[in-house]
A and B are shown apart, each in its own frame.
Chain A
């Protein structure tokens, strides 16, 4: 079945620097890759997503890139701010049958942005 690996598990950056989180997936037929931000005690919030027919997507300071050949996708946050500090999760969708659309999640990256 699908497996999603996420790295690094923790990331500390200075305010204003960029942060990059990487995920790899195992099933080449997966076609949808969302990223979620989770703050302490809250549910995950969808921040950006990409489908397999697109190589890159940007939304202000956040971007996601997808390399289908290598089966990996990355989250890029530029000009980081202290409020970006949170746990970030990547996910990949199951592409087949009755479980189509179900998500397999990575184990998360705890991002700390130091003022």
Chain B
């Protein structure tokens, strides 16, 4: 089955630690996105990549980093510089920019 796989489903971070969230898609989509979702809020864009080996900052990129070395993979690192990392993180992909985005089932990150 084609789709977007996010792992792990739950992740805990200690103070001062970097953690990496995985996002893999087998849909052959060019564009991939990372969003953050806080309770009662809409989705806010962290980073996006319209093509492999290229990515751009979204609205709330501070404290996060990404890479796009392979078309199917777009990992997100939450660095120690992100002081309020507790949230639900969602990865999405689309055939290309300006086409419908499809989401994975998210990773819930909490602080120990």
Q: Using a CB–CB distance below 8 Å, which chain A residues touch chain B?
A: 4, 6, 9, 32, 34, 36, 41-46, 49, 89, 93, 98-103, 105-108
Contact = CB atoms under 8 A, between A and B. Distances in A.
Contact of B42 (A41, A102, A105): A105
Contacts of A44: 43, 90, 103
A102 B58 contact: yes
Q: How large is the interface on B (under 10, 10 to 19, 20 to 34, 35 or more residues)?
A: 20 to 34
Q: Which 9 A-B pairs have the closest CB atoms?
A: A101-B98, A101-B97, A105-B42, A43-B103, A105-B43, A107-B42, A43-B105, A44-B103, A43-B106
Given A32-B98, A99-B56, A100-B98, A43 B40 contact: no
A105 B46 CA distance: 13
Interface in B40-60: 40-45, 48, 50, 56, 58
B65 to A, nearest CB: 19
B40 A101 contact: no
A45 B92 CA distance: 11
Given A43-B103, A46-B101, A89 B56 contact: no
